Amino acid sequence: MADLHVSLIPNPAGPQPLGTTITWTATVIGDPDPNPTYEYTFSAEPKGSPVQVKKGYGHSKTWTWTPSSFEGIFTIGATVKNVHAGTSGSTTASYTLTTRLPNGTSVHAAVNPTNHPLVALFSGPSCQVPNYMIVRFTPQTTPPGGITTPMTTNPVPCRYNPQSQNPDATSMNFYIAGMYPSTTYTMHWETHSPAGVLRVRGADFSFTTGQIPSNLDFPLFSSTGTTSDPQEPITLHSVVPIPVHGEVYTSAAVDLAGNILWYGLLGPVRTEPGGNSWGFLGGNDTYVAGIQEVDLAGNPVLETTVGAVNEQLAVLGIRPITGLHHEARLITTPDGSGPNGYILALGSAEQICTDCQGGTPQNPVDVLGDEIIVLDQNLNVVWAWDSFAFLDINQEAILGETCMHGGAGCEPFSQQFTQANDWTHSNSLQYTPYDGNIIISIRHQDVVLKVNFNYAAGDGHIVWKLGGGPIGGPGGAPLPSFTLFTIGTGGPDLGYPWFSHQHDAEIEFGGYLFGNFRVLTLFDDGNTRIAEYDPQGDSRCHILAVDETDLIANLNTNGDVLSYSPALGSAQILKNGNLMCDSGFIGGPQHSGTDPLTQTVEMDQQGNFIFSLNAAEDSYRTFRMQDMYTAINP
């Protein structure tokens, strides 16, 4: 490609203090092409560090950057491609960020508002390795049923090392989130040793949160029963944006009485250690639609587009995707080794079929499947798995689901067809660090699969199949499958013990072995069971003990959530050992625009109801959390 001349301008100009939102605009200068089509990508890193891509190729010429970790000189980069002419150009700019700590005073901390009225930016002094720093914050007043005890941020490793040639005396900065609106908090920093011993406690600072903007709408919350889990007093809701009486509700974190502690304009489909979360960017333009990671104040951290992913899939010779959906999360390894920091995402794919699922050469059908996409820290595709290559395309969706353009829960597909067979409709991914593989929940086949990822070097073969769905490999070849037992199991519909149309299949406790068994949770929506076995049945909350060596599973907990949710849902084990499930679509599409209901149900491991937080909305996932920083199953 020939060179383009590119300018890169910040607004506001530097230097600026940490936490400032800077809008960068990349402009092509003097391009002779009369009909250019530009794609832009942006990067940012401390001066002298390796390039760190922050925004993958897209059609927007602007990028908003809100750095909040530490002060210093940063290098910002932009690359622009003119796809029409086959030309490209790059440029960089330097930008200085200053500390929020007061200069020339003995005050060694500061707290400032952010663009989110319920989130503060707390700045503390540098601290010495190998210690770590947290911020502890306490409300001075609380609403009825509110959280009165202090909360803490995630621990951040200290950076100052007097033995180093570059000791790094930059400030320590934290977003403070999980606070009630219009409430005064006191907060201070603490340093702790690696063993957790308090070393130094900073002075208290006062901060008063703002009001929730009047243009945001939230559902009514209520509760039933009494929870026995005070360690996780927050419930985070990821709202499905279906208008209810004309209002689109905003995703929120609330206490167990339903008082709002935080809200997010991008629905948090998965949270990460430290408080960042992932969501989806919509739109018909594939160079706008994609995935985005945001911080607790709602600022973009990382993002990429469907178009950028497809460019890389094409280079690798892999089928393109039509969208990114349902799941995006970081791979987090316990020791920080590879592929730590990689990004897992679900992509939709399609295949025009002339000899399967009713298709003929004269009347082909469009079949929708899924791909697992793995991106590295620079948003490059490093691995992908195509459901069409590893599963039997002749096995149609269990309940014959189809999609229309723009239909609820449907991903984009070819405009040559008015409908498509919704073959897989996967909804969750999890990296299992103990063996380096990936678990995928495939809703419309009633199965959970483990895929050979092998730390990004795997061939994608299916390690095992869990579930009663009949799907096999290509040509119907049998897959290694679990045998299910119900030893000691209680609860409803044991004549149909397998889950169906499930959501959020997760290995718990980091894959810890209890004898030969690991613990797997999921939300059993139950569509197939209810269609074929018990029309009056409810959705269920499941704990399965799985022996991955001998392919034996036991249904340990088969809890009735006392409602039927034909879609959506999530599951987790709480700190007190109880099971929590999100029944997020009670009443189904008939009620979603008028009187929707989500119930976040806590039950014991015998399936006995304990507590439910109820929200008059549809929720894709809900999570019980100890704070806004500790991820569920990172």
Q: Average pLDDT of 203-207? A: 97
Instruction: Say what the pLDDT of residue 230 is.
Output: 83
Residue 634 has pLDDT above 80, yes or no: no
Whole-number average pLDDT of the chain: 96
User: Is the model's pLDDT at 104 over the cut of 70?
Assistant: no
CATH number of 2-98: 2.60.40.3880
Count Cβ neighbours within 10 Å for each residue of 424-451 and write b for 16 or more, e otherwise. Answer: bbbbbbbbbbeebbbbbbbbbbbbbbbb
CATH 2.60.40.3880, the chain: domain bounds: 2-98
Using 50, 70 and 90 to split pLDDT, how confident is the model at 632? Answer: confident
Q: What tens digit of pLDDT does each residue of 484-514 get?
A: 999 999 999 999 999 999 999 999 999 999 9
**Residue 153, pLDDT score:** 98
Q: What pLDDT band is residue 94 in, cutting at 50, 70 and 90?
A: very high
Is the pLDDT assigned to residue 3 strictly greater than 90? Answer: no
- 157-202: pLDDT as tens digits: 999 999 999 899 999 999 999 999 999 999 999 999 999 999 999 9
Distance CA 448, CA 467 (A): 6
Residue 579: predicted pLDDT: 97
Angle at 387 between CA 382 and CA 390, to 5 degrees: 100
What's the pLDDT score for residue 106? Answer: 58
Q: Please state the rounded mean pLDDT for residues 521-530.
A: 98
Predicted confidence (pLDDT) per residue in 259-281, tens digit: 999 999 999 999 999 999 999 99
**Per-residue pLDDT at 2:** 60
Nearest to 96 by CA among 7, 12, 8: 12
Q: What is the pLDDT of residues 554-609, one digit of tens each?
A: 999 999 999 999 999 999 999 999 999 999 999 999 999 999 999 999 999 999 99
Residue 1 has pLDDT above 60, yes or no: no
pLDDT at 105: 60
Domain 110-208: give its CATH code.
2.60.40.10
Question: Which tops the pLDDT comparison, 105 or 313?
Answer: 313
- Residue 215's pLDDT is 96
> Residue 49: is its pLDDT beyond 80?
yes
Amino acid occupying residue 363: N
Beta-bridged to residue 94, according to DSSP, are 75
Predicted confidence (pLDDT) at residue 125 exceeds the cutoff of 60: yes
What is the rounded distance in angstroms from the CA atom of residue 310 to the CA atom of residue 320? 5
Residue 203 pLDDT greater than 60, yes or no: yes
Question: By the 8 A CB rule, do 289 and 296 touch?
Answer: no
- The pLDDT > 70 percentage for the chain reads 99
DSSP for 171-196, please give it: PEEEEE-S--TT-EEEEEEEEE-TT-
Reply yes or no on whether the pLDDT at 217 is more than 90. yes
pLDDT band at 346 (very low <50, low <70, confident <90, very high): very high
pLDDT at residue 427 greater than cutoff 90: yes
Question: What's the pLDDT tens digit per position in 58-73?
Answer: 999 999 999 999 999 9
Q: What is the pLDDT of residue 243?
A: 95
Angle at 630 between CA 629 and CA 631, to 5 degrees: 110
User: Mean pLDDT over residues 217-227, rounded?
Assistant: 95
CATH 2.60.40.10 in the chain, residue ranges: 110-208
Query: How does pLDDT run across 141-151, given as a tens digit for each residue?
Result: 999 999 999 99
